[in-house]
Amino acid sequence: MAKTPGPTLFVLFGATGDLARRMVLPAFYTLAIEGLLPDDWILVGNGRGDVSHENFRQHVHDALTEFGPAPAKGPWKEFASRLRFAGGGFDSDDPGSLLDVIESSEFGGKAQIVHYLAIPPVAFPAITEALGKHGLAENARVVYEKPYGTSPSSFRSLNRLVHRVLKEEQVYRIDHFLGKEATQNLHVARFANEAFAAMWSREHIESVQIDVPETLGVEDRAAFYDATGAVLDMLVTHLFQVAAEVAMEPPASLDAADLQAAREKVIRAFRPIDPAEVVLGQYTGYKSIKGIKRGSKTDTYVAAKLWIDNPRWRGVPFLLRTGKKLAESRQVVSLVLKDPSGPFASLPSQSNVLTFDLAGDGAIDLSLLAKRPGVALELEPGSVRLPLAELPDAEPLPPYVRLIHDVLMGDRSLFTRPDGLSATWKAVGPLLESPPVPAAYAQGSWGPAKARKLAPWLLGS
């Protein structure tokens, strides 16, 4: 990264919560280790509890010890000296101690303020209103976690409120799947390589599969998940955004505005999902988890067909699948190529596939058919793999690290816009209005049996 951000005051709402502990604080410490933080910065944690600065530093130390990077591996003493805590909560009627802590910082009015809302979505409106009420919105950057709204109407209500307090260029709606190295390579591989660009359309692609199975359950966030489910937690957020990354038309440039515009334009071409082309599931034992409502019908699994009504993709199914307590944890985007016309009478199905592995530092895989060496003309499937971390001088960053750095730099390329989010809610609307009854599936399986009839999945087939 070429330049260093100026003095920054980073306010972390929900600083003692699960998301901050697992993702945001480790990402911020990684930025410190990599030398990507401003020369002058302070992180102010905010919460309802009466926590001293020193106790908050110990909380951060414990979080890093559990989730990494371990404090012993980096500049912990210098990092800890820049941590503060402002207790007493924060709302329009009572700012708690946040204003006092900010005013006592050595930056005065010279710092760029970044507010990170690592809090439940239900609290977004109150915090946003309070930022405006207490003079903390002007020229600030505000990061909103997903889901940005939990229904079409709540999205519209939140979006109106946010735009009453903030200008659009101040808003950073985070979707960490867009910060993954391999997700960014979806458009780089295509636009920088004619071999891929030439086949990136309905003429050559049979289907696109976006598959994010997880072995984890929901025990650590049961109440949140039971009020959300797989459709809202994953489909309308991560999977739709990755589909747009695959399907967008070439942008006018790689500048933030043009990349966002290309991504959002194709989302507007998403056909509203037909509930008949969706399978929902719930793993056995879900209802017995502490925090789950008795008789819950929350979906922990979703498999869906998405169609994109534009000339490039018309007729190509985008197969989206995710779920909890499945057989494997994977994050893959697979472009399944059509069988070529020619002299071979029959070819193995789904044998020519370009796959982007989104997990970890990312990788690109190409599977194809080749002649097996020998006297007979026999075909054999093979594959080649490019681990992105092994490229010369590679410096891969975890997605939260990359995206928080982009916020510090003021780069909105990998953040969502309200027009695209409005279109995603329109696309998922019919499913929310008439959801199928979730089918039970065994833990450690590939989900409900009926999902296998929906599509020929590459994973778990």
Q: Do residues 125 and 30 share a domain?
A: yes
Q: Is 27 helix (H, G, I), strand (E, B) or coil?
A: helix
Of the chain, the percentage scoring pLDDT greater than 90 comes to: 80
Q: What is the pLDDT of residue 461?
A: 62
Q: Do residues 184 and 134 share a domain?
A: no
Q: What is the CATH number of the domain that holds 283?
A: 3.30.360.10
Q: What is the pLDDT of residue 2?
A: 46
The answer to whether 115 is annotated as binding is no
- Number of domains within the chain: 2
As a whole number of angstroms, the distance between CA 444 and CA 184 comes to: 30
Q: Do residues 231 and 374 share a domain?
A: yes
Is a pLDDT exceeding 60 seen at residue 19? yes
Q: What is the CATH number of the domain that holds 49?
A: 3.40.50.720
For residue 427, tell me if it sits in a domain: yes
Q: Is 332 helix (H, G, I), strand (E, B) or coil?
A: strand
Instruction: Give the catalytic positions in this structure.
Output: 238
Q: What is the pLDDT of residue 150?
A: 85
- Extended beta strands in 257-404, E state: 278-283, 301-306, 318-323, 332-337, 353-357, 363-371, 379-387
The answer to whether 21 is annotated as binding is yes
User: pLDDT tens, 365-387?
Assistant: 999 988 888 988 888 889 999 99
The answer to whether 372 is annotated as binding is no
Q: Do residues 205 and 282 share a domain?
A: yes
Is a pLDDT exceeding 80 seen at residue 457? yes
As a whole number of angstroms, the distance between CA 217 and CA 329 comes to: 11
Of the chain, the percentage scoring pLDDT greater than 70 comes to: 99
Residue owning tokens 């020619």: 342
Q: What is the pLDDT of residue 380?
A: 85
Q: Do residues 138 and 183 share a domain?
A: no
179 alpha-carbon distance from chain centroid: 7
Q: What is the pLDDT of residue 133?
A: 98
Tell me what the mean pLDDT of segment 19-27 comes to: 96
Radius of gyration of the chain (CA): 23
As a whole number of angstroms, the distance between CA 62 and CA 28 comes to: 14
For residue 153, tell me if it sits in a domain: no
With CA atoms as reference, report the closest residue to 119 among 42, 27, 217, 20.
Answer: 20
pTM above 0.85, yes or no: yes
Q: What is the 3-state secondary structure (H, E, C) of 146-184?
A: CCCCCCHHHHHHHHHHHHHHCCHHHEEECCHHHHCHHHH
Query: What helix, strand, coil percent values describe the chain, rounded to 5?
Result: 40, 20, 40
Domain termination residue (choose one: 127, 145, 163): 145
The answer to whether 324 is annotated as binding is yes
Q: Do residues 140 and 181 share a domain?
A: no
The answer to whether 204 is annotated as binding is no
- Let me know: does 203 contact 324? Beta carbons within 8 Å: no
- Let me know: does 76 contact 65? Beta carbons within 8 Å: no
As a whole number of angstroms, the distance between CA 122 and CA 223 comes to: 13
For residue 163, tell me if it sits in a domain: no
User: pLDDT tens, 4-13?
Assistant: 788 999 999 9
The answer to whether 180 is annotated as binding is yes
> Lowest-pLDDT range, 236-245, 251-260, 343-352?
343-352
Is a pLDDT exceeding 70 seen at residue 109? no
Which tokens belong to 442? 């065994």
With CA atoms as reference, report the closest residue to 357 among 396, 309, 414, 395.
Answer: 396
Q: Do residues 235 and 378 share a domain?
A: yes
- Let me know: does 263 contact 248? Beta carbons within 8 Å: yes
For 29-94, give the DSSP string: HHHHHTT-S-SSEEEEEE-SS---HHHHHHHHHHHHHHHSS-GGGTTHHHHHTTEEEE-S---SS-
For residue 171, tell me if it sits in a domain: no
> If pLDDT is split at 50, 70 and 90, which confidence band does 1 have?
very low
For residue 32, tell me if it sits in a domain: yes
**What's the domain range around 117?**
8-145
User: pLDDT tens, 259-310?
Assistant: 999 999 999 999 999 999 999 999 999 999 999 999 999 999 999 999 999 9
Q: Which residue has the higher pLDDT, 1 or 143?
A: 143
Q: Do residues 127 and 200 share a domain?
A: no
Residue owning tokens 């071979």: 344
Q: What is the pLDDT of residue 427?
A: 96
